[in-house]
Structure 1
Amino acid sequence: MKQLYIECRLNQWSDIFTLNQRFLDQFVFRGQANENWPLSTSLERLINSLFPNLVDKAMIPHHEKEMLKEFKWKYPLYSQNSPDSTNNIEWLTIMQHYGAATRLLDFSKSLFVAIRMAIANNESNSAVWAINKNILTYSISDSFLREKYEKTGKGGGMSIDKVYQLSNEKANCVITDKSFDRELEKELLLINPEQCNERLSIQQGLFVMPTNIMVPFSHSLTSYLSSPTPTKLHFDDLSGYNIREIALLKITIAKELNYSVLNYLRQMNITPETLFPGLEGLGKSLNYPRISFNRDGD
């Protein structure tokens, strides 16, 4: 069932706390420094910059395969702990971690982490995108995965661990072109890597992966929506909606809020020093005002 796309604007920090934990638990979040940027993967952006007039979209999966092939070949030069050679989704998560362009899009289970990422280096209004993870886990119950699950003989609903496992299985089939029609299917998979790293852990990270990389990420996302045009609401009106009705939520954050929001997040111990391991986090954490701009001098 296709669902709503809602857009609202955060005008004061206290508005955030009108959203209860039950509401927040239903979404995964991504912060972006510019409210006008669409959701797009680094691979999509790379291809668009290298080949802005590309006609043969079948080149994109080929490009991905060549990147995977080279990374696997050279990886032993840098590490002796290699994933299984056939576990391509795990390889992609490692590539993403080290800066390679992939079809994976970073998300967090934490709204507050996403807000910090959104306003960290923005020069305009920023945005947090929230995807209802239920629409992604429901789609995992397609024929490909349901048959696998039913073979266990357990019946009933799937646990989140089972969803992650089967999502990863489907992702690997997609990347290797098994049991998948690229022309017909535009699905988004919720990916939780088998092997965690420090940054992924502290940022409560996970990924959303499009099954079809020959179309923009936003096109795949639109296939879940009743309309690609957002319904615009006041922030406090969100509480009047059934969570199940909302597939996509975009929260715009006014640039004027940056200073106060950063201060609140610092009080919550959400800083670069806690979000980025090592000296990188320490260095970034120094970039905050050491004086108050409060007119009352507080």
Structure 2
Amino acid sequence: MSFEPIKEGPIWTYEVNDFIQLRECVENEISFIEDYVFRGQSNSKWGLTSTLNRLILKARETGAKHSSIDRFVRMHLNRFKLEIRGRRGDNPPKLEDDELWALGQHFGLATPLLDWSQSPYISIFFSLNSIESGTVFRVLWCLNKRMVQSKNEGLAEKKKLKLIFPDTDDNKRLLGQSGLFSKGPVMKAVDEWVKEQFIQSNSPVLLKIKFPADHSFRKQALKKLHLMNINYSTLFPDLLGASRYCNIVAEDYEV
């Protein structure tokens, strides 16, 4: 089955009706899966914006004033460094800034990072995590990491969209989720960065695959993903995963 995308320069948008079409779209429209990283979101209207960007916007709305974005970010990270003293065990190793951001991301800190996975199906699972009232479509984002890394070679450090593959030895969740992070310029969503940096490109750098947000699709998709061994129990190998797995089994669909 072929799919006809809506092309907006380097961002191509597809729309599918069921899980079978979603799987066919992923496998037919992406030539080399290993060239891409993936992110699922429960609302297709949301951009690829980090929690730190949203925190800054909220601070502005409340009237908070800062001399510069860079200073705001530096103060935020330094505050986190201060607060975690004595909470990382005995003689913890020193962490670089990106490692600190990754640690904070894991524990709920607002960071400039976005979570991605090397698996499209794990990402689809996370898009099904919540039920958003009034949402028509969920979305699977597919970012061509090869093209991003090539573009980065000609950019200044602050303008790069970096893909961070953290050491997963200390984070079983990242290992189970084939996880990684993106880190781009502060106050610049990933989709905005792609539009700006590939403004003259008609090749797909970022794919946006929209699929229904209704209950019947969610029920079908979760069942299919469970058969692929993708569920909370396998993606969160801890007490949180066990609890969420039990909750989702208790819903009215079969797994």
Q: Same fold (TM over 0.5)?
A: yes
Q: 1:97 aligns with which of 84, 91, 106?
A: 106
Report the counterpart of residue 206 of structure 1 in structure 2. 180
Q: Is the 8 A contact 2:112 2:186 kept in 1?
A: yes
Change (3 A) 1:57 1:138: farther
Q: Distance in 1 between matches of 2:210 and 2:177?
A: 21
Q: 1:23 aligns with which of 22, 26, 32?
A: 32
Letter in 2 for 1:246: P
1:215-230 aligned at under 5 Å gives the runs 215-226=188-199
Verify: 1:261 aligned to 2:234, yes or no.
no
Normalized against structure 2, the TM-score is what? 0.81
Deviation (angstroms), 1:271: 0.5
Unaligned stretches of 5+ residues in structure 1:
145-169, 175-185, 232-244, 294-298
Q: Distance in 2 between matches of 1:223 and 1:30?
A: 20
Comparing 99-108 and 68-77, the one that deviates more:
68-77
Letter in 1 for 2:94: D
Deviation (angstroms), 1:61: 2.0
Report the counterpart of residue 74 of structure 1 in structure 2. 83
Rg: which structure is higher?
1
Report the counterpart of residue 204 of structure 2 in structure 1. 246
Deviation (angstroms), 1:72: 1.9
Q: Distance in 1 between matches of 2:91 and 2:83?
A: 13
Verify: 1:84 aligned to 2:94, yes or no.
yes
Alignment length (residue pairs): 236
Unaligned stretches of 5+ residues in structure 2:
1-7
Q: Greater relative contact order: 1 or 2 (C-alpha under 8 angstroms, separation 6 or more)?
A: 1
Q: Distance in 1 between matches of 2:174 and 2:91?
A: 18
Change (3 A) 1:258 1:214: closer
Change (3 A) 1:198 1:292: closer
Letter in 1 for 2:192: H
1:17-44 per-position Cα deviation (integer Å, ceiling 9, x unaligned): 4515853222111111111111100000
RMSD: 2.9
Change (3 A) 1:3 1:290: closer
Q: Percent identity?
A: 28
Q: Is the 8 A contact 2:152 2:160 kept in 1?
A: no
Q: Distance in 2 between matches of 1:129 and 1:57?
A: 33
- Secondary structure of the residue aligned to 1:193 is coil
1:63-212 aligned at under 5 Å gives the runs 63-79=72-88, 80=90, 82-84=92-94, 87-123=96-132, 124=135, 125-142=137-154, 174=158, 186-194=159-167, 196=169, 197-210=171-184, 212=185
- Secondary structure of the residue aligned to 1:207 is strand
Normalized against structure 1, the TM-score is what? 0.70
